[in-house]
A = this chain, B = another copy of it.
Amino acid sequence: MTKPYTRLDKDNAAVLLVDHQTGLLSLVRDIDPDKFKNNVLALADLAKYFKLPTILTTSFENGPNGPLVAELKETFPEAPYIARPGQINAWDNEDFVKAVKATGKKQLIIAGVVTEVCVAFPALSAIEAGFDVFVVTDASGTFNEITRNAAWDRMSQVGVQLMTWFGVACELHRDWRNDVEGLGALFSNHIPDYRNLIASYLTNSSGK
- Known contacts A66-B196, A197-B64: does B166 contact A147 (CB below 8 Å)? yes
Number of copies: 8
Asked if residues B1 and A132 are in contact (CB atoms below 8 Å), the reply is yes
Nearest chain B CB to A69 CB, angstrom units: 8
Partner of A116, one of B124, B153, B166, B174: B166
Taken together as a complex, chains A and B put the C-alpha atoms of A115 and B23 apart, in Å, by: 23
Task: Say which residue of B29, B167, B192, B204 sits within 8 Å of A151 (CB atoms).
Answer: B167
Q: Which residues of A contact B (CB under 8 A)?
A: 1-7, 22-23, 25-27, 29, 31-38, 59-60, 62-67, 69-70, 85-89, 92, 114, 116-117, 120-121, 124-125, 127-130, 132, 137-138, 143-144, 146-147, 149-154, 156-159, 161-164, 166-167, 170-171, 173-178, 180, 191-201, 203-205, 207-208
